[in-house]
Structure 1
Amino acid sequence: MEKHNNVVHRLRLKVQARRIARRALPFVASLFLATPLAGPVRSSQAHGQASSVRIPAPSPVALLSQGTRQLYDELNLQAQGLSFQVFEKAYTGYLNLRAEGKLDPTRQLLTVADFSLPSTEKRLWVLDLGQKQVLFHTLVAHGHNSGENMATNFSNQNESNMSSLGFYVTDTEYVGKHGRSLYLDGVDTGFNDNARDRSVVMHGADYVSEDFIKQNGRLGRSLGCPALPLDQYAEIIEAVGGRTCLFLNGNDPEYQSQYLDTDEAARTYASLGSSGQAV
């Protein structure tokens, strides 16, 4: 009788165990599904090896953007009042002009005049991109009919007496009515390509000075030329003459340029390397 009772007891325990297992199975399954499977081991200290993870290479445009920001910082241009947005446009045009062979490849000079700033501020920069140096930072005048202290109107027309925005390539020197002067060739069709016929040149003028600002509250104005201070113009002309890039920036929503093509500039930048030298 005792043996029979033991058998019955064991059967009851088995039945209870199966019931508990059936009730617990859904819970255990949910825990299993919610737990991520262990991934493959990516490194092994024992063998001194690590599996590599392929990271997509940055696009040429992204590399250009990074390089432009680095160059801007190395030149310390923010502290000198040149905005990154204006420098980015100027550098893009510089690269595209260089790709077309319009610039002297042995000289990495970029001159920027920002006519979105008032004439009372130093708004012209001559940059040596190779040496990462600001060679000049000075005043520059805009055209008489472009505005008073602020330049708000721009034209490519003869006798407009306005400044013309866009990219220029400097040419040779000559001596004219303003003394030592520098020819400029505008390369933006419809915006500044009439510069030669208009006699838009770089020259010095006595109305570009701190004294003139103190007396009049603004600089004097030219007939459309980017006129420079008398105590610096000769040095600047000497430095930038002979196929270097000049960019005149201003607030004109209609301005556009083929030389602001970032894709083409990115290809040129990639071919030059981080130093800006041809490789």
Structure 2
Amino acid sequence: MFTSVRFLRSGLLLAVSMVISSFSQGASLDDELLHRMSRAAPELDPLVLESAFNASRCAVFSGVEMPQRLAVIDFSLPSSRERLWIFDLEQGGLVLRDLVAHGKNSGNFESTAFSNVEGSYQSSIGLFRGSESYYGKHGYSLRLDGLEPGINDHARRRAIVIHGADYVNESWVNKYGRIGRSHGCPAVDNQVIERVVDNLKGGQLVFKFYPDQDWLHSSNYLNCGGGAVAVNEAGHGEQG
């Protein structure tokens, strides 16, 4: 009897220690990956990168398929800056950095207003999943599904997609001090649209950041307090 109890306790302690070790190793690997990503993108605010990384990790814990790449858009930067980064999550390297537009009703040089409402012509923030690529009125494009209820989950209904635009390039910055603005889509330079779409389609993650205090404190993905979040698959349109 006592021998059996000792073996049971011993086995339980071994199992617990293995779980703790596994979590510790996982955290260590995450820390190393985040460190490599930070070194690859020294001009990206470390707090923004960490928020994107933690939101992505939380999404995976909540049932989202493990992504291979992560795009980070820092809407706290003016549109004249290259504020889009795409990372390889296997090696932690930087795939691409470039310009990206915000919606015309989100601001002029800088974006300060965001919406989840159809017809607002504003950008939305939070965590998205890159879904299927397609050819539409803007050429080669990528549909986005917003993963955060009340924040961006109407993205597909609003036809918020990644597409190329002739108003997103350095010549616009040189002439106007900013790039052009979209109807809410994160439009990119026509010269890089193919690389952007091909790297983000098929379930990769896109994180759009702005220091909105309500979102920072309420987002399940930023605070990992929410479990699995349903993705809105309704509506297939094009906004611009």
Which residue of the partner structure matches residue 84 of structure 1? Answer: 46
Distance, in Å, in 2 between the alignment partners of 1:70 and 1:148 is 38
Pick the structure with greater CA Rg. 1
Which residue of the partner structure matches residue 37 of structure 2? Answer: 75
Match of 1:97 among 35, 54, 59: 59
Question: How far off is 1:174 after superposition?
Answer: 1.2
Tell me the TM-score normalised to structure 1 length.
0.68
Question: How far off is 1:108 after superposition?
Answer: 2.2
1:165 equivalent to 2:125? Answer yes
Q: Within 5 Å, give how 1:197-208 maps onto structure 2.
A: 197-208=157-168
Tell me the TM-score normalised to structure 2 length.
0.78
1:150 equivalent to 2:110? Answer yes
- Are the equivalent residues in 2 in contact too, given 1:111–1:124 (CA < 8 A)? yes
Which residue of the partner structure matches residue 219 of structure 2? Answer: 257
RMSD, aligned CA: 2.5
- Are the equivalent residues in 2 in contact too, given 1:124–1:138 (CA < 8 A)? yes
Which residue of the partner structure matches residue 176 of structure 1? Answer: 136
Question: How far off is 1:92 after superposition?
Answer: 1.0
- Are the equivalent residues in 2 in contact too, given 1:170–1:185 (CA < 8 A)? yes
Residues 1:229 and 1:80: Cα distance change in structure 2 (over 3 Å):
farther
Distance, in Å, in 1 between the alignment partners of 2:197 and 2:148 is 22
Residues 1:196 and 1:262: Cα distance change in structure 2 (over 3 Å):
closer
Q: Within 5 Å, give how 1:103-122 maps onto structure 2.
A: 103=65, 105=66, 107-122=67-82
- Are the equivalent residues in 2 in contact too, given 1:152–1:252 (CA < 8 A)? no
- Are the equivalent residues in 1 in contact too, given 2:101–2:180 (CA < 8 A)? yes
Which residue of the partner structure matches residue 186 of structure 1? Answer: 146
Consecutive unaligned residues of structure 2, counting only runs of 5 or more, are 1-19, 228-240
SS in 2 for 1:170: strand
- Count of residue correspondences: 206
Consecutive unaligned residues of structure 1, counting only runs of 5 or more, are 1-56, 266-279
Which residue of the partner structure matches residue 228 of structure 1? Answer: 188
Report % sequence identity: 38
Aligned residue identity for 1:205: A
- Residues 26-45 of structure 1, C-alpha deviations (whole Å, 9 max, x = no match): xxxxxxxxxxxxxxxxxxxx
Please, which moves more after superposition, 77-86 or 122-131?
77-86
Residues 1:79 and 1:125: Cα distance change in structure 2 (over 3 Å):
closer
Q: Within 5 Å, give how 1:120-139 maps onto structure 2.
A: 120-139=80-99
- Are the equivalent residues in 2 in contact too, given 1:102–1:169 (CA < 8 A)? no
- Are the equivalent residues in 2 in contact too, given 1:113–1:125 (CA < 8 A)? yes
Question: How far off is 1:146 after superposition?
Answer: 0.5
- Are the equivalent residues in 1 in contact too, given 2:80–2:178 (CA < 8 A)? yes
SS in 2 for 1:247: strand
SS in 2 for 1:218: coil
Distance, in Å, in 2 between the alignment partners of 1:189 and 1:263 is 14
SS in 1 for 2:97: strand
- Residues 238-278 of structure 1, C-alpha deviations (whole Å, 9 max, x = no match): 1110011110001322213111235899xxxxxxxxxxxxx
Residues 1:96 and 1:217: Cα distance change in structure 2 (over 3 Å):
same
Residues 1:264 and 1:160: Cα distance change in structure 2 (over 3 Å):
closer
- Residues 64-88 of structure 1, C-alpha deviations (whole Å, 9 max, x = no match): 4x65553333234475311111111
Which residue of the partner structure matches residue 21 of structure 1? Answer: none
